[in-house]
Structures are given as C-alpha cells and as structure tokens.
Chain A
Amino acid sequence: MRGKKSPWNQAVLKRNISGWLILLPGLILFSFFVWEPLLESVRLSLYTARGVQLQEFVGLQNYIDVFKHPDFAPAVINTFKYTFWSLVIGFLMPIGMAALITETVHLKGTFRLGVYFPNIMPGLAMVLMWGYFFTPGKTGVLNILLNLVGISPQVWLTNPNMTIPLIIVILTWKSAGATALIYMASMGNISPQLYEAAAIDGARLWSRFRHITIPGIMGTIKMLLILQIIAVFQILYEPLVLTNGGPNNASISIMQVVYRYAFQNFNYPMAAAVSVMICAVLVLLTVLYFRVTRETD
C-alpha cells in the first residue's frame, strides 16, 4: 500500500480519520469515567485541597498521614481477614455447587435459575435485608429459624469475632450462584469420554472428580481466584450498611476508610492516597499472581 500514489493514500487516510471519528465519543467517555480518574487519583493524592480545589503540592505527606490514622491499621488487617474468610467460605462453595448441579438430570434449568437469582438482586437492598436476618433477639429471622430446631437466639453481627465471617456468608450467598454457573460451563466442556475411560479403569466417583473434573476446571479456578480476591479487597456496602465498620472497628474495610475520608471528612486527597495504595497493591498482586501461575503450568 505504501508504494501507491496519493489517491490511494488519501482514501486510506480518510477511512482512518472517519474511523477515529466514530471512536471519538467512546474515547472521550472512557477517558472521563475510567482512564483519567486513575491518573487524577495519583495527582490528587500528592496535594492538599480545599473541597475539590487543589491547594499545594505536599509530595508523599498524605500517604504518611494515612498510616498514622487510627482506622488504617485495623482496616488493613480486616481486609486480610475478609480475604481469608472469603477463601475459606466463599471459594469452594461455588465449585461444590457447580459439581452437584452438573450431576443432576431433573430440574437442572430450575437449579441454575435458582442459584443465580440472588445475583440479580440490588446489592444495597440485599444487605439491608440481611440486617433483619441477623437481628439479635427472638424476632430476628435466623433466630426464629434456630428456635424451630431448639437452638437459643444468637447475637450475630454484634459479636466482633463473628462479624467478618458473617459478612462473607452474605457475600457468598449473593455471588456463589453466578460463580457456580461459570464453573458449570467449564465442567460441561470436559469430554465425557474421559470419565468413561476412567470408569473402565475402575475409578470410583470421587477419584473421577478429583483426577478429571478438578484438572479440567483448573484454568477457571485460577482465573476466578484472583477475581474474587480483587472483589473482596474492595468490599464496602456490607460493612457500611450492616455494622458501619463496628463493633469497635472490628469489621471496617479499607474501602470504608476511603469512604470516610472522602464523603464524611471531605478530605479528597487523603481518600485518593488510600485509593492509590489499594490499586497499587491489587495491580501488583495480579501481575505476581499471573507470573506465578504461569510458571507452575
């Protein structure tokens, strides 16, 4: 194409320009809503501000101040607790659910619909609703249900040792079904001949699952593991609405620190500093994770 004379080049040029004109609205929107805010976070975090107006450049002072804030250390520790519990409670659950639904032949469509259902519910409404389930005293829904089997009422979220695991239970209730459907799709791609060959070799059900199903969905497992960690790191609605970070900071999350800085104290630079740290940690974690999992393959 390069050798051709100008009419061709002009036509190509024209086509490229008109193509870019079509991309332009999208580029503007992506820049404004996605790409620029990332850079703006970094810039914001290096300044002081009055309201939304930047005042003076202070270098890394905001980051240093964030570390001194009394909420920061508990929030970081809690974020690791959230991640830990989400791996203990939330990670294996969808794999198990997918494996079980895959083994059914009756009502399979209904099961798929049913377990996906919580995922379409508005997050905020569901969190408020679970507040009623965890109400202490005899009229809390879970206590009513416990009473039916003769167990005395529990205090649920007000027990600081239980707060984070219970919040993870809610999170799992909402998202496990959707995740299970992804695993189901992955399990459906495993060739039935593999199972049949294993059966001929005398493999029992569990060992077929262990040696055929699990390796078959390993790629999906690896992908969803990191996606889940990224999601749980940013947990906000649940502690914000259910416990407001309490009792006594027992459930405050790192995103809640951002929220408090930005929308209760209106200190946007400090909020941005925490945001930048979260983003940096997650990007680093993702890159490291992909490097490690690639090496082990």
Chain B
Amino acid sequence: MFFKKYRDKEEGVIRSFDMGSPGVKVAAAVIFIICVVMVIIAIFPSVWVFLASFKDIKEFRRNPTIFPSTFDIAKFIKTWNDLDFFQYYINSMISVTGSVICAIFFNGLMAYGLGILKPKGHKIVFAMVLWSLLIPATTSLVALFVNINRIGLNGSFVPLWLAMGANAFYVVLFKQFFEQLPKSLIEAATLDGCGNLQTFTRVVLPLSRPIMMVVAIFALNAAWSDFLLPFLLLANTPKETVMVRLFAFRTSNATDVEVLRAIAFSILPPIILFAVFQKQIMQNVVSAGIKG
C-alpha cells in the first residue's frame, strides 16, 4: 500500500525499480517521516501562538504546558477591545489597499511600456529595473526616509502606497505575461482609436486577470507584513499599522499574553490569505523566492 505508489514516481534519486530492496523501502519510509517532522516544525510555532493566547497571564507564567486549560474566545475579544486593534486593522487595510492598487497599476503600466510598446531605449530602462533587483534595498532606506521628509510626506500613507508601485519583481512578472498576450487584440484596440492608456486599462488589464491576482496576493502580504518604512513614517501618529503597533508592544506595559494575542491578530490575515489562495501562491513561489 504505502510502497505501491512509488511505482509512478517520476523524479528524484529513488526509482520505482529500487523498491524491491528492503533497504530502499526503509529509506523511503524514513524520508516520509522526516518530511512530516519538518512540516510540524514549520507549523507548530504559529499554532502555539493561538494555543498560548488562550491562557491567562497567571497560567502563562506558572504552568509549563503547551496546551491551555480552557479555550475561551472571550479573552481574545477582550484584548482586541483593550488594545484597540480595530483601529490598527483599519489602518493596515488602508495601507494594504492603496499598496495593492499601486502595485498593479504602476508596475503593470511600466511592464506594458517595456513589454508591448517598446519605445526606443526601453532596453536601458529594463536593464536598470533588473539591476535594482540585485542592489540591497535596505541600504538606501535612510536616504529614502530623508527624501520623504523633505517633501513633507511623513505621517502619510501615500509614500507606502507609491513605494509598492516601484517593484522590479512585479514589473518582471507583468512583462513576462504581457509578452504572451495575442498581439492582434492589442492592435485591434489601437485601430479602434484607443490611446495607449485606454488600451492598457480596457484591453491589456482585463486580459491579465491571472497575473493581476498573483501580484495582488504578493503585494497584499508584503504590505501587511511591511514594518520598517511604516514604522519610520507612521509611528506615534493615529495612522499606526498593525506591525508598527506590534513593535511598540516590545516596550509597553502590555502583559505577555496580550502581546501573544496581538501576534495572533497580526498573523491571522496572512494565514487566511494563504489558505484561500494557496494554489496561486504555490505556482509562483519559485519566481518569488529568487527575488526575496
């Protein structure tokens, strides 16, 4: 039963004809068990956050156990209200929504210019975009922060939104997709008298739903998780996002279990996103991973 399925094995070192040997069978079983352990190690910490959040502070400090004694959802609701998490969720949503729109529109537009219109000199621009993938991003953070301050955009969501509109990785994703679109459709739109911008919004984008989804998912997760720039621009303003608030707990008088519940609130949206869009995410992780 367990070993039967190895007959159809298509890749890797162990081939179907090896399964006759008992040693290989043991190896295959051991590998399977190790993989199960790996997944447990990968998932356990996040599960623990939710388990431990059900403890109250006395139980958390005194009882060296993994499981809480009771599962009482009211504790979560109380912390949610005490820490005013609704406000931070709203702020994060504003930041995320603008970021996703900018990520799709501006990077898509850039890719449309580079991949379809190709004006003279587009290769230089694309080379510069690719170069920015290799240059360490955090090293220009200080100068970027100074620039944003100079034009008076600190304390605003606008720089966070627009920053997502300059993402080399998303440009590359869009460009690869656009280059496979049927040229005739775009030419037809031009013949109908559509300007370039109209062609983009009315023809190219509607044809590009799959890749828009992918960029939207990645941008959503990136914007939700982003910490450093939001912290520098929004800390101590009424616009603090969930991550900025989370960092402040480090030095606040919130109890350990309250901080744990805050962590639980902050990881819940990515978990839901992952659960819903796992197919789209898993299809694109390879290209995403090389960038990150």
Contact present for B122 and A19 (CB under 8 Å): yes
Taken together as a complex, chains A and B put the C-alpha atoms of A186 and B13 apart, in Å, by: 14
Segment of A57-65, A73-81, A116-124, A156-164 engaged in the interface with chain B:
A116-124
Indicate if B109 sits at the interface (CB-CB under 8 A). Answer: yes
Interface centre among A97, A125, A187, A255 (most CB of B within 10 A): A125
User: Could you say which residues of chain A place their CB within 8 Å of the CB of B41?
Assistant: 173
Segment of B45-53, B79-87, B206-214 engaged in the interface with chain A:
B45-53
Taken together as a complex, chains A and B put the C-alpha atoms of A181 and B145 apart, in Å, by: 34
Indicate if A276 sits at the interface (CB-CB under 8 A). Answer: yes
Contact present for B113 and A29 (CB under 8 Å): no
User: Could you say which residues of chain A place their CB within 8 Å of the CB of B288?
Assistant: 178
Taken together as a complex, chains A and B put the C-alpha atoms of A196 and B14 apart, in Å, by: 9
Closest chain B residue to A18, Cβ basis? B196
Across chains A and B, the number of contacting residue pairs, with CB separation under 8 Å, is 303
Taken together as a complex, chains A and B put the C-alpha atoms of A36 and B246 apart, in Å, by: 31
Contact present for B282 and A113 (CB under 8 Å): yes
Indicate if A249 sits at the interface (CB-CB under 8 A). Answer: no
Indicate if A85 sits at the interface (CB-CB under 8 A). Answer: no
Taken together as a complex, chains A and B put the C-alpha atoms of A199 and B196 apart, in Å, by: 58
Contact present for B18 and A199 (CB under 8 Å): yes
CB of B45, distance to nearest CB on chain A (Å):
6
Taken together as a complex, chains A and B put the C-alpha atoms of A255 and B281 apart, in Å, by: 30
A192-B15 CB under 8 A given contacts A22-B109, A121-B267? yes
Indicate if B76 sits at the interface (CB-CB under 8 A). Answer: no
Closest chain B residue to A188, Cβ basis? B11
Indicate if B149 sits at the interface (CB-CB under 8 A). Answer: yes
Taken together as a complex, chains A and B put the C-alpha atoms of A188 and B290 apart, in Å, by: 17
User: Could you say which residues of chain B place their CB within 8 Å of the CB of A282?
Assistant: 136, 139
A272-B129 CB under 8 A given contacts A100-B31, A279-B136? no
Give 1 or 0 for each of B102-117: 1 = CB within 8 Å of chain A CB.
Answer: 0000110110111001
Taken together as a complex, chains A and B put the C-alpha atoms of A235 and B219 apart, in Å, by: 22
List CB contacts (< 8 Å) of B235-292 with chain A. 243, 246-247, 249-250, 256, 259-260, 263, 266-267, 270-271, 273-274, 278, 281-282, 285-286, 288-290, 292
Give 1 or 0 for each of B184-211: 1 = CB within 8 Å of chain A CB.
Answer: 0000000000011100100000000000
Taken together as a complex, chains A and B put the C-alpha atoms of A102 and B195 apart, in Å, by: 49
Q: Taking chain A's interface residues, is the majority helix, strand, or loop, or is none over half, making it mixed?
A: helix
Taken together as a complex, chains A and B put the C-alpha atoms of A141 and B45 apart, in Å, by: 9
CB of B236, distance to nearest CB on chain A (Å):
12
Give 1 or 0 for each of A98-127: 1 = CB within 8 Å of chain B CB.
Answer: 011111111101111111111111111110
Indicate if B74 sits at the interface (CB-CB under 8 A). Answer: no
Taken together as a complex, chains A and B put the C-alpha atoms of A236 and B5 apart, in Å, by: 45
Which of B15, B35, B121, B282 is A196 in contact with, Cβ under 8 Å? B15
Contact present for B39 and A122 (CB under 8 Å): no
Contact present for B107 and A26 (CB under 8 Å): yes
Interface centre among A122, A208, A271 (most CB of B within 10 A): A122
Give 1 or 0 for each of B14-37: 1 = CB within 8 Å of chain A CB.
Answer: 110110000010011001101110
A130-B45 CB under 8 A given contacts A103-B28, A236-B138? yes
Closest chain A residue to B117, Cβ basis? A19
List CB contacts (< 8 Å) of A27-55 with chain B. 27, 29-30, 32-38, 40-41, 44, 51-52
Indicate if B60 sits at the interface (CB-CB under 8 A). Answer: yes
Contact present for B225 and A123 (CB under 8 Å): yes
The interface on chain B, measured as residues whose beta carbon lies within 8 A of the other chain's beta carbons, has a size of 110
User: Could you say which residues of chain A place their CB within 8 Å of the CB of B149?
Assistant: 51-52
Which of A110, A138, A213, A258 is B142 in contact with, Cβ under 8 Å? A258
Contact present for A173 and B42 (CB under 8 Å): yes
Which of B12, B114, B282 is A112 in contact with, Cβ under 8 Å? B282
Taken together as a complex, chains A and B put the C-alpha atoms of A244 and B163 apart, in Å, by: 28
User: Could you say which residues of chain A place their CB within 8 Å of the CB of B10?
Assistant: 192
Contact present for B128 and A35 (CB under 8 Å): yes
Interface centre among B28, B35, B60, B259 (most CB of A within 10 A): B35
Contact present for B285 and A116 (CB under 8 Å): yes
Taken together as a complex, chains A and B put the C-alpha atoms of A36 and B147 apart, in Å, by: 9
Indicate if A20 sits at the interface (CB-CB under 8 A). Answer: yes
Which of A138, A185, A227 is B64 in contact with, Cβ under 8 Å? A138
Contact present for B13 and A208 (CB under 8 Å): yes
Taken together as a complex, chains A and B put the C-alpha atoms of A112 and B289 apart, in Å, by: 14
Closest chain B residue to A273, Cβ basis? B142
User: Could you say which residues of chain A place their CB within 8 Å of the CB of B120?
Assistant: 16
Given contacts A124-B225, A124-B246, 14 further A-B contacts (CB under 8 A): A16-B120, A19-B117, A19-B196, A22-B109, A25-B106, A33-B144, A33-B166, A37-B144, A105-B9, A116-B285, A120-B273, A125-B267, A268-B142, A279-B139
- What are 15 inter-chain pairs, A to B, with CB distance below 8 A? A19-B122, A20-B121, A32-B166, A34-B135, A52-B149, A99-B12, A117-B46, A119-B285, A120-B270, A128-B250, A133-B45, A139-B61, A143-B64, A178-B288, A258-B142
Query: Which 9 A-B pairs rank lowest in CB-CB distance, beginning with the nearest?
Result: A19-B119, A26-B110, A114-B39, A37-B140, A122-B225, A40-B143, A19-B117, A37-B143, A29-B166
Task: List chain A positions with a Cβ less than 8 A from chain B.
Answer: 15-23, 25-27, 29-30, 32-38, 40-41, 44, 51-52, 97, 99-107, 109-126, 128-130, 132-133, 138-139, 141, 143-145, 147, 173, 177-179, 181-182, 185, 187-188, 190, 192, 195-196, 199, 205, 208-209, 212-213, 223-224, 227, 230, 233-234, 236-237, 241, 255, 258, 262-263, 268, 271-272, 275-276, 278-279, 282-283, 286
